[in-house]
Structure 1
Amino acid sequence: MKKKGFLIDMDGVIYKGSEPIPGAVEFINGLRDRGLPFLFLTNNSQRTSRDVCYKLNKMGFRVNDTDIFTCAMATARYLASKKENGTAYVIGEGGLLTELYNAGYSIVDDQPDYVIIGEGRTIMLESVDKAINMVMKGAKLIATNLDANCPMGEGKYRVGCGALVAMLEFASGIKAFSVGKPSPVMMRMARKALQLTTDETVMIGDTMGTDILGAGSMGFTTVLTLSGVTKEDDLAHFGYSPDFIIKSIKDLLNEELFMRVMGEPLLVDATY
């Protein structure tokens, strides 16, 4: 079998809410049994990798903390590579704060090097006002991701990081730099974490504008699953296409299809 590894989105791909998508546990645990490398990628900066791992373990996935790569991790590592022991004013929660501390950053309320925006369920307008003024005084504006909204299950959504960032950009006149999917920063970090080359990397995701766009731009093999955000009718609106289209990750339990994904990239609609 040709060497390949997998970058895998989570919500809408391997689970919805607190329930695994049928076939997902078998597929992921099967990758582990085959010794094939994989890494979960998420644009949710709220939770630490340990928190995410705990949730997956409860569902039956045999995964470790090191199998999780969040946009908070990517953001912290990127900033540490640009400025060691920097300072940041943060609108976000535990996952982002933990990664910044781990990267040697100090969280401050005055004259930060960076203003960093992540997800948050209890964001005060006072914090947003402070962030705007810091950016206008020279702090660099960083977004963990630019997702406009986040699905909560049962057809419900909450405001995403991108919506808050858009408000700050409009108020300050300064554009944010985003590190999360589809940014090549996060995609490249994830590939390197698995020690894979471009043609050895497969991305499985449910969102055209993040998972498929980001991975496709990097030259990875892309697999779109229709079990999450993107539906089949949506595909006509995009100027790019995934290499494979599946109903859900359960389809990859079909050995013939799995082997095609593991081979040379082909434009195949595997929906049935």
Structure 2
Amino acid sequence: MKKDTGFLIDMDGVIYRGGELIPGAKEFIEKLIREDYPFLFLTNNSQRNCRDVVAKLHRMGIHVQEKHIFTCAIATARYLASQKPNGTAFVIGEGGLLTALHQNGYSIVDDDPDYVVIGEGRTILLESVDKAINMVMRGAKLIATNLDPYCPSSNGTIRSGCGAFVSMIELATERKAFSAGKPSPVMMRLAKAELGTRSFQTIMLGDTMETDILGGVQMGFKTVLTLTGSTDIGDLEDFAYQPDYVIQSIEELLEKGAFEAIIKGEAKPELVFA
């Protein structure tokens, strides 16, 4: 029987780090599937479509389905479809974003679009940025799939994120982009609706205070910060908001009583609490 409590789970820094699976991640997801807890992997990466993400997870030994993946590209496309059905977009981005827009009734154009939509890309040309700037100056609305300034790479370095690309257009046009990705309530609300849970029954599990935890706090979700990603325990004092729980890694949720304590909102001495 499907449980009332559901999980929204960030990926990089929670399930894997670069190309390496974090200990306990596979077993935790198997537990959710076995015990019929609804869950979604929530990612601010708009490059890959759901099938590609599933294939990556399968290679790591985590056997999930496309229905378990919810990307900022999907959130962006659904938001645009709700604002202007069957609209048009000039896109700087890759396959995941293009697929999501097409699936939600949008046409990709090279002239006079309703929206300029920016996602991640490994080969973004200055010519495309200049084109986007002129479109926004002529009235197209500027949309970002997320505002992350950088993204981690598989070799441990970082690369420019969507927010870095968008900032160029914002600076040139003096227009601010609207973002539907984490921590935007747009993405968090859409993901919760997919789970079919109520706010207090939704648990956000992530490694980043500025996106995962902030998004969950703003929506009234229970929030669990894991320290296997971009946040150290000492960083918490820099934020005006705090997660409900702090764990060393996802493996802690497999320990006796820890999972149940978080489900029920109870304290457990072995866990670190903010």
Q: TM-score, normalised by structure 1?
A: 0.97
Structure 1 residues 1-272: aligned runs within 5 Å: 3-264=4-265, 270-271=271-272
SS where residue 4 of structure 2 aligns? coil
In the TM superposition, what is the alpha-carbon distance from 1:153 to its structure 2 partner? Answer: 4.0
CA-based RMSD of the aligned residues comes to 1.6
Residues 115-174 of structure 1 show CA distances to partners (whole Å, capped at 9, x for unaligned) of 000000000000000000000100000000000000114430000000111111011000
Aligned-pair identity (%): 62
Shift of the 139–269 alpha-carbon distance from structure 1 to 2, 3 Å rule, reads farther
Q: Do the aligned residues in 1 keep the contact of 2:18 with 2:156 (CA within 8 Å)?
A: no
Alpha-carbon separation, structure 2, partners of 1:185 and 1:265: 29
Q: Do the aligned residues in 1 keep the contact of 2:152 with 2:158 (CA within 8 Å)?
A: yes
Q: Do the aligned residues in 2 keep the contact of 1:2 with 1:263 (CA within 8 Å)?
A: no
The runs of 5 or more residues in structure 1 that have no matched partner are: none
Q: Do the aligned residues in 2 keep the contact of 1:245 with 1:268 (CA within 8 Å)?
A: no
Q: Do the aligned residues in 2 keep the contact of 1:244 with 1:268 (CA within 8 Å)?
A: no
How many residues are treated as equivalent by the alignment?
272
Code of the residue aligned with 1:222 in structure 2: it is: T
Code of the residue aligned with 1:225 in structure 2: it is: T
Alpha-carbon separation, structure 2, partners of 1:19 and 1:3: 31
Alpha-carbon separation, structure 2, partners of 1:180 and 1:188: 11
Residues 174-223 of structure 1 show CA distances to partners (whole Å, capped at 9, x for unaligned) of 00000000000000000000100001100000000000000111000000
Q: Do the aligned residues in 2 keep the contact of 1:114 with 1:139 (CA within 8 Å)?
A: yes
The runs of 5 or more residues in structure 2 that have no matched partner are: none
In the TM superposition, what is the alpha-carbon distance from 1:3 to its structure 2 partner? Answer: 2.8
Q: Do the aligned residues in 1 keep the contact of 2:225 with 2:243 (CA within 8 Å)?
A: yes
Alpha-carbon separation, structure 2, partners of 1:245 and 1:88: 40
Alpha-carbon separation, structure 1, partners of 2:268 and 2:215: 17
Residues 235-259 of structure 1 show CA distances to partners (whole Å, capped at 9, x for unaligned) of 1111111000000000000131111
Q: TM-score, normalised by structure 2?
A: 0.96
